[in-house]
Amino acid sequence: MNPGKILEKRIISGKSVVFRYPKLFDAKGAMETINSQVEERADIAKMTKVTLQQEKKWVSSVLKAVKGKEKVFIAIEAGGQYAGSCEVTKDRMESQRHVGTLGIGLRKEIRSLGIGKRAMRLAIREAKKIGVTIVRLDVYNTNKVGQRLYKKLGFHVTGKIKNLALHYGKRKDGITMVKYL
């Protein structure tokens, strides 16, 4: 894995959008991206902001996992700024090594432009290369955009966990979705 290696470059809505491997230098952009989603109370599991120090540690663990083929991580840059990511992480259970869990999050300013869909396609393509044949994810019942995106990409609902989350005082169900590659 070459840190920062570009997988694809496109002009989307007049912005240059780059899909690439992560690099150590991403910590600040990644921190700002996750913190912006925490601030807007996006439908994600995280509710508290992270510090640069925490994010540096996290980015180096991501790089290690990508290098060890335990994870695929697509960093998204828009207009030269880090603006989101899509990742697939292999299950650690010995009998479930072919299962990958997908996570995705983009800054608000670059949503609804087709970037999430493209990032997911690339992440799934790369996940296949590290032996993933089943991709799973959990999405809150309130996250309609996410659910629509996942269905478009061939994910099917396999279950629901009632009250999985207590999200800013509101109970939300977790919907499990799966795609067989």
Ligand X SMILES: CC(C)(COP(=O)(O)OP(=O)(O)OC[C@H]1O[C@@H](n2cnc3c(N)ncnc32)[C@H](O)[C@@H]1OP(=O)(O)O)[C@@H](O)C(=O)NCCC(=O)NCCS
List interacting residues with ligand X (CB under 6 A): 37, 42-44, 104-106, 111-117, 139, 143, 145-146, 148-149, 152
Tell me the one-letter amino acid at 138: D
Where do runs of H (alpha helix) occur along the chain? 27-39, 52-67, 115-129, 144-152
Distance, CA of 116 to CA of 177 (rounded, Å): 17
Of the pair 56, 143, the CB lying nearest ligand X is at 143
Of the pair 67, 144, the CB lying nearest ligand X is at 144
Residue 149 CB, nearest distance to ligand X (Å)?
4
Of the pair 13, 53, the CB lying nearest ligand X is at 13
Distance, CA of 134 to CA of 131 (rounded, Å): 9
The residue at minimum Cβ distance from ligand X is: 116
Residue 111 CB, nearest distance to ligand X (Å)?
3
Of the pair 24, 161, the CB lying nearest ligand X is at 161
Distance, CA of 67 to CA of 61 (rounded, Å): 10
Residue 120 CB, nearest distance to ligand X (Å)?
8
Lookup: tokens for 152: 């478009």
